[in-house]
A and B are shown apart, each in its own frame.
Chain A
Amino acid sequence: MDFLTGMAFWVIILLVIINTVLVIRTDVVIHQEGDDDGEKKGLKGDDKLCRTTQS
């Protein structure tokens, strides 16, 4: 197998490692429904899902 052909497999492994490091170092915050939500924020749940007009 020549160098460039074999490199494909190693590049995949390298990408996965780089990705793992990047994610570990990233601060990820996910909004939980109910956090900071109040009536001011508009309709909730299925009511908002059925909304078709713009707010």
Chain B
Amino acid sequence: MEYIVKNWIILVLMIVYISICLGIGWFFKRQASRGVKEYYIAKRNIPGWVVSLAFFSTFISTNTYIGQAGTAFSAGLSWAWVGVIWTGFCMMTWLVLGPRMRNQTAYLSSVTIPDYFDFRYQSSFSKALRILSAFVIIFATLWYMAGIAKGCAHLLKSILDIPYFWGAFLVIFITCAYTVWGGMYSVLWTDAVQGIMMFAVAIIMVLIPFIYVGGFGDLMTKIAMVEHVTKAGKPMGDGLVTFGALVSFAYILGIGFSVGMKQLAEPRCLIRFYSIDNAKSMKFAMIWTPIFLGISMICVMGLGALVHGMTTNEEAAFLVKHTDQVVGWMLAKFGNPLISGICMAGLFAAGMSSLASVMLIVGTAIIGDMWNVWKPMPKDKIVGRTKISIWLYCIIVFLITLKPPAGIVELTAFAGAVFAASFFPAIFGGLYLRWGTGHAAFWSMLIGIVSCTLYREVFRVNIPALKNIHEIFPAFILAFVAYIVISKMTQSKVPPKEHLALVFGDGKTRS
């Protein structure tokens, strides 16, 4: 009883939010199950504002709202430059990839990223490329989902005192339920709701330190000269407001690029383009997605630094070593149950929106891109088997979440770098380079994966000069160069002119 009296606001808000998500999934259940195009890509019939919010909420997860916001506590306001890089990549993704990807996938009747590679390149390596890319998706997503579920489970434990086991169970299987029911319809519409919540919560959270301390001027004066210490025990002084004082620009660039570039290459982001209904919607999303992301970055990326204005010296000394707890601590210190409840729901929205997107991608990869390629099945079996595969995959993720391997955050970041390095050349080449070949796409993907792994596990560990250069830089450059060189060497494998005319929409007015 005491528990309910203490937590009733947060519990009510969470139950309302979860009910909305499950309700959306149930609403679209019948429509989504009509066929593969409905289930996998919502029949390319979704308005731009939904897709825009979905892209934003899918890309941004609890890793950002808790992890990145908390990192600013030790890195200072300079950390906002990570937000600059992410916003830049968001723009680039929509301007460079959005319309072309939507059109080409429609011309090809593609419904997944791996099958886009297959249908676009039409070479003896196309099937291998499709299966390789599906495998990368399935493997990388395991760690990504476990990392997010772990973060959400810890949040439930710290705020609502729900045991870790049950927290992980609830987050994974509630998300699984509405994803399986409504397919891409459910994923997109719940993402849109979650995107609205996340946007509002970003603004609410950044206001908290200002309200607590008593205004913009007071807070900025307070954090401009603190007596707090860094993780190494050195005085911060004015480091929180001085560029590069607490964190190197090389590190900012590394995180900025390695995570920001995911927007250009990760299937969970790119699949959004498939579902847009028309040109007006596309333009709306091209304008508003960077706005949603940019404003959220302004709010979240410097948040941790502002929290210094709320802490004592002892509290700061603890939090600088446990930056993942900064946001939770800030909400507890502010002490407003309604604000805490709204922010909690927003943080869960951030996690669940990303979970739902990748769950569906994995299901389509397992059934559509692996099983159906290996052993073609009747088309009326595909949706049902996709649903089962999502449930089974979630069980595996849940088991991993119960005992996550050490360094799961690093594993997740590494997986993101692998996506960017291995997928982007094949995608960009497919969209823009008529002379790109399937051989080049396959080998560049493999080279991206191998070079990313080797650089991280061998070179970066053993060569001190390379320590601050993130694996994404050399792996991306190598993979892209490989794509170009191998394409030039295999020009006899370029798809027929008629196929390229279809893919590039020759004779049609295009963007």
Contact = CB atoms under 8 A, between A and B. Distances in A.
Nearest to B242: A2
Q: How large is the interface on A (under 10, 10 to 19, 20 to 34, 35 or more residues)?
A: 35 or more
A9 B115 CA distance: 39
B502 A30 contact: no
B278 A16 contact: no
B497 interface: no
B309 interface: no
A15 B242 contact: no
A51 B54 CA distance: 29
A2 to B, nearest CB: 5
Contacts of A13: 294, 298
Interface in A22-55: 22-24, 26-33, 35-36, 41, 43-50, 52, 54-55
Contacts, number: 146
What 3 pairs between A and B have smallest CB-CB spacing?
A: A4-B243, A8-B80, A48-B109
B192 to A, nearest CB: 20
B282 interface: yes
Nearest to B127: A52
B114 to A, nearest CB: 12
A23 B283 contact: yes
Interface of A: 1-5, 8-9, 11-13, 15-16, 18-20, 22-24, 26-33, 35-36, 41, 43-50, 52, 54-55
B109 A12 contact: no
Given A2-B241, A19-B91, A29 B379 contact: no
B294 A15 contact: yes
Interface of B: 35-37, 40, 44, 76-78, 80-81, 83-84, 87-88, 91, 94-95, 99, 102-103, 106-107, 109, 111, 115, 118, 122, 126-127, 220, 224, 241-244, 276-279, 281-283, 286-287, 290-291, 294-295, 297-298, 301-302, 368, 372-373, 376-379, 382, 499, 502, 505, 507-511
A39 to B, nearest CB: 14
A30 B241 contact: no
A23 B286 contact: yes
B77 A28 contact: no
Contact of A28 (B40, B282, B376): B282
Given A13-B294, A33-B106, A22 B95 contact: yes
B283 A28 contact: yes
B287 A19 contact: yes
6 contacts: A5-B76, A18-B91, A20-B291, A26-B283, A41-B502, A50-B378
A45 B380 CA distance: 12
A9 B298 contact: yes
* A interface majority secondary structure: helix
A30 B99 contact: yes
Nearest to B79: A8
Contacts of B127: 52
A16 B91 CA distance: 8
Nearest to B41: A49
A29 B87 contact: no
Contacts of A46: 35-37, 379, 382
B290 A8 contact: no
B91 A15 contact: yes
A43 to B, nearest CB: 7
Given A36-B508, A49-B36, A15 B88 contact: yes
B37 A26 contact: no
